[in-house]
Chain A
Amino acid sequence: MKAVKAGICLMAIMLISGCWGQINFDQLTVVSAIGLDPDKNGMVRVTVQLSNPTLPVAAGGGSQQRRPFVNYDAVGITIQEAIERIQHQAKKSLFFPQTKIVLIGERLARRGLDDHLDYFWREMNQNLNSYVLVSRMPARLALDTAMELEAVPADEWRKYLEGDWKRPLQVDIQMYQFLPRLNQIGHQAVSPGIGPFNKSGKSEIMEIGDTAVFKNDRMVGWLSGEESQIVNWLTDASHSGSIHTDLAKEESVSFSLHSIRAQVTPVLRNGQLSMKVRVKGEAEVLTATVPLHYILENAMLRDVLNQQLESAVEETIDKVFRQYGSDVIGFGEALHRSMPAEWRKRKINWEKELRSLDTDISVSFRIRKSGLLH
């Protein structure tokens, strides 16, 4: 009985004292995006996009007269320090677990990320499923100016990156995939880029395209959309794509590509390492600027397609390996998996190995359909 009484007292104390660990739910403000920019003396400028909670449009939330989001930024040596400063500005309790986007400014990415990003592993509340983007303009600016159909741009970006329809031309990478690859020589990180679409002169329209290539924790350059799709095939991230082949001058045929299976195998011959790439798949004619006769020209089309793809793959690998010296295809890991001993020998000089690597590429697509026409 005494134990029961003591228990009740204890419970009462806990209840009255307001308990531990409770979150003040009403002060919660969801952080929808985090932007990282470089600052002087190796400091980092952190931008935090806080979204105002909105009712769904169906519940009458469309007519709300509030700013859908607010950006705060602060500078600190660590991300944590900057976020603490932001806390003072925002006066709300920042809620990180549902961060959708981590936007890294290109300048910071080129300076090197290693000093900062371990925060995302360590901190309990960070969202490992947030998507990583590299911004061509300063992240702060990108977050400020972006306008999307949805009230909070980060929501829109995330949905886009999550969706499957963008996959052929776009890499996507989540925090938990991005972080380990920053230190992984055998499979370096890539990340989609975002930047203003300047051609029409409107700077608030952001285009997610191209791919930032990292070498260790430093960004080294960009890949175009077509190159990204090849990287995606080679890393087994997507199995479809599209290509526009040039048949003749200003004449082109567009294909959509399906069921792509790419194989990257390391081959060791007389102590010389080379890379064997096999890409197989099916193609479908989508549109052509020339009249086509499918049955007659099938073989010709196929050859053109394969040839052009082959050179595209080669160019991509060349660009990545020779120009950037970065193993975004994961060839190192492929070697690691199949010949661990060899990998241990070579990984110290992996960059040099990459630059002098022989590649043996073959691409074989077959044309399966030609749409409704023949």
Chain B
Amino acid sequence: MHKQQISESQFFFIIFVSIASLTFFSVPSQLIPMVKQDLWLSMSLGTAIDAIVALLLYRLGLKYPGKSLVQYSRAILGPAGNLLSLVVLLFFFAVCVTAIWIYSDFLSSSLLPDTPLVAFSGTLTLCSGWAASKGIESIARLSQILGTIILISTFILFATSIPVVELRHLLPQFENGVGPAVIGAMYPGSWFGICILMGMLMPHLSRPRKTLKLKVSAVLLGALVMTGYLLYSIAVMGAHMASQMENPIFVFTRITRLLIFERIEVLTLLVFISGSFITYATLYYVMAQGFSELFRTKSYKPWVYALSPLFVVLPVLTVTQKFGQWPPYLDFWFPVVALSIEGGVASLLYVGSFFRKTKR
């Protein structure tokens, strides 16, 4: 089978777009109330955590060139590896459902208040599923364009909102010590860590040697941009108010105005929605590809179709039923579980690969 190839800059933009849009929708509501002005530290710690995971995956990827996470975990751990990759894939699945849930919940409360949740999860699944079925190449190409758009619009937004910014709001730093910032790092860290999908994308890369550098710089840029957004929103509203908002970035864009346009929040939202489409499409593709490698099916496309109903329905169900109560799940369970899977899987495999090498 002809393997689809993505170039370095495409990989860079996939990671960047994923980081930016996941952070936009998922991180602020937990991070800002907890850490407030010091969130830059949390964000950079999150990036650091991610860089370590990326390093492990990079080494693994180089050791098993042309193989994806699912394939080399089987090579390293045998049947247990299969179980491991199943865990990873299920984790991706959970991430997807959680993220779609947050996404549709937020959009149905802000963008189109009268539209039912299922419309959002449905359209999102439709778009990303279609993209996934077209393959990673198309997703990568589109992410290049969208990534550029995100960067440009961010730049414009930051430039135009300088008049409403009051830098004083960002002080005092470390009011409650470094503690909350360090603990708060688990929120961005857990979402950034989704980039272990890099392990699945590496075989598609035309030059895998450069992966680590690209990946880290993409996460860095993404984290930088989003830290910018979060700090801007605090600087505009003040930490007190920003921490009460469900999504402070959204409110920040409501306050900012661009020339004669007073309400540009919808435009910003749209930019990030398109970013989410790319993110979910990538996750979706990776999942389908992973499942097909795990169960050794011929093509990944049936998996795309098989997964789609779940993505439409599950996020809606979680809201109606008690299972997905907001606070404990997102505040604690999700980040903890995510971090342990992301870090755990990578280090387990890494250690395992050494073991295997010495045995030979």
Interface residues of A (CB under 8 A from B): 20-21, 97-98, 121, 124, 127-129, 174, 176, 179-180, 183-184, 333, 336-338, 340
A121 to B236, CA, bound (A): 15
* A183 neighbours in B (Cβ, 8 Å): 240
Please name all residues of chain A whose beta carbon is closer than 8 Å to the beta carbon of B262 when the two chains form the complex.
Answer: 98, 127, 129
When A and B form their complex, what is the total count of cross-chain residue pairs whose Cβ atoms lie within 8 Å?
49
Specify which of A97, A129, A183, A338 lies most central, judged by the most chain B CB atoms within 10 Å of its CB: A129
Indicate whether B62 reaches chain A with its CB closer than 8 angstroms: no
Q: A124 to B110, alpha carbons, bound, how many Å? A: 7
The 5 closest A-B pairs by CB, nearest first: A21-B114, A337-B171, A180-B241, A21-B112, A20-B115
Knowing A20-B116, A97-B263, A124-B113, say if A176 contacts B237 (CB, 8 Å). yes
On whether the beta carbons of B171 and A20 are closer than 8 Å, the reply is: no
A128→B115 contact, CB < 8 A: no
Could you say which of B109, B168, B172, B255 contacts A129, with CB atoms under 8 Å apart?
Answer: B255
Contacts of A97 in B (CB 8 A): 263
A340 to B38 CA separation, bound complex (whole angstroms): 14
CB pair A20–B263 under 8 Å, yes or no, is no
Contacts of B188 in A (CB 8 A): none
Hey, which bits of chain B sit against chain A, CB under 8 A? Answer: 109-110, 112-116, 119, 168, 171-172, 175, 236-238, 240-241, 244-245, 251, 254-255, 257, 262-263
Give complex CA distance A275, B262 in Å: 39
B174, chain A: closest CB distance, angstroms: 8
Interface centre among B113, B241, B251 (most CB of A within 10 A): B241
Residue of B113, B171, B237, B245 near A21 (CB, 8 A) is: B113
15 A-B pairs whose Cβ atoms sit less than 8 Å apart in the complex: A20-B112, A21-B113, A97-B263, A121-B244, A128-B251, A128-B254, A129-B254, A176-B236, A176-B237, A176-B251, A179-B241, A180-B237, A180-B240, A180-B241, A337-B171
A20 to B113, CA, bound (A): 9
Residues of A within 8 Å of B241, CB to CB, are 121, 176, 179-180
Chain B residues within 8 Å of A184, by CB: 238, 240
The docked-state distance in angstroms from the alpha carbon of A201 to that of B170 is 49
The answer to whether A338 and B255 have CB atoms under 8 Å apart is no
Q: How far is the CB of B265 from chain A (nearest CB, A)?
A: 10
Query: Which residues of the other chain, B, contact A124 by a CB distance below 8 angstroms?
Result: 109-110, 113
Across the interface, name the chain B residue whose C-beta is closest to A118.
B244
Nearest A residue to B175 by beta-carbon distance? A340
Bound together, the chains give a CA A174 to CA B255 distance in angstroms of: 10
Kindly state the separation between the CA atoms of A127 and B112 in the bound complex, as whole angstroms. 17
B17 to chain A minimum Cβ distance, whole angstroms, is: 27
Instruction: State in angstroms the CA–CA spacing of A337 and B173 once bound together.
Output: 8
B198 to chain A, nearest CB (A): 32
Extra contacts, 18 of them, besides A21-B115, A121-B245 (Cβ < 8 A), are A20-B112, A20-B114, A21-B112, A21-B113, A121-B244, A124-B109, A124-B113, A128-B251, A128-B254, A128-B255, A129-B254, A176-B237, A176-B241, A180-B238, A180-B241, A333-B168, A337-B168, A337-B171
Residues from chain A with Cβ under 8 Å of B172 in the complex? 336-338, 340
With A21-B113, A124-B110, A184-B240 as contacts: A176 and B168 at CB distance below 8 Å: no
Q: Which residues of A contact B171 (CB under 8 A)?
A: 336-338
Complex CA–CA separation, A98 to B263 (angstroms):
9
**Residues on the B chain within 8 Å of A121, using CB:** 241, 244-245
Contacts of A180 in B (CB 8 A): 237-238, 240-241
**CB of B74 to closest CB in A, whole Å:** 34
Shortest CB distance B118–A (Å): 11
Which residue of chain B has its CB nearest to the CB of A330?
B168
Bound complex: CA A127 to CA B257 (Å): 12
